Amino acid sequence: MKKNIYIFLSICLIFSYFGCQKNIPTAPENQNEIDFFMTFYNVPGVSIAVIKDFKIDTLEVHGVKDVLTQEPVTVQTLFQAASISKSVSAMAALRLVQDGKMSLDEDINQTLSSWQLPENAFTSNVRVTLKHLLSHTAGTTVHGFRGYRYSEDRPTLVQVLNGTSPANSPPIVVDVTPGTIYRYSGGGFCIMQQAVIDVEDDDFPQILQEIVLTPLAMQSSTFEQPLPQQSLGRAAKGHYDDESYVPGNHHIYPEMAAAGLWTTPADLAYFLIEIQLSLEDHSNQVLNKALTELMLTPVLSDEYGLGFGLIDISGEAYFGHGGANEGFRCFMMAHKKVGVGAVIMTNSDNGSELADKIIGIIAERENWPGY
Partnered with residue 80 across adjacent β-strands are 262
Domain ranges, ordered by start, for the chain? 2-366
For residues 23-28, give the mean pLDDT.
Answer: 67
pTM over 0.75: yes
DSSP 3-state percent helix, strand, coil across the chain (nearest 5): 35, 15, 50
Average pLDDT, the chain: 93
Q: Could you read off the pLDDT of 282-337 as tens digits, one per residue? A: 999 999 999 999 999 999 989 999 999 998 999 999 999 999 999 999 999 999 99
List the one residue out of 222, 249, 253, 228 whose CA is nearest residue 238: 249
164-173 contacts, C-beta under 8 A, 24 or more apart? 169/142, 169/145, 170/141, 170/142, 171/141, 172/117, 172/140, 172/141, 172/142, 173/117, 173/118, 173/120, 173/140, 173/141
- Can you identify the CATH homologous superfamily of domain 2-366? DD-peptidase/beta-lactamase superfamily (3.40.710.10)
Binning pLDDT at 50, 70 and 90, where does residue 31 land?
low
Q: List Cβ<8 Å contacts ≥24 apart for 333-337.
A: 333/359, 334/51, 334/272, 334/273, 334/275, 334/276, 335/276, 335/368, 335/369, 336/276, 336/279, 336/296, 337/279
Do 38 and 63 touch, CB atoms closer than 8 A?
A: yes
| pLDDT classification of 27: cutoffs 50, 70, 90 | low
CB 254 within 8 A of CB 260: yes
Q: Which amino acid is at 179?
A: G
Alpha-carbon gap, residue 188 to 140, rounded angstroms: 6
| CA-wise closest residue to 358 among 1, 41, 4 | 41
One-letter identity of residue 59: L
In the three-class reduction of DSSP (H, G, I as helix; E, B as strand; rest coil), residue 186 is classed as helix
CB atoms within 10 A of CB 97: 19
Q: Rounded to whole angstroms, what are the CA distances from 174 to 66, 81, 103?
A: 41, 27, 20
Q: What's residue 28's pLDDT?
A: 65
Q: Are 329 and 320 in contact (CB under 8 A)?
A: no
Report pLDDT digits (tens) over 85-115. Answer: 999 999 999 999 999 999 999 999 999 999 9
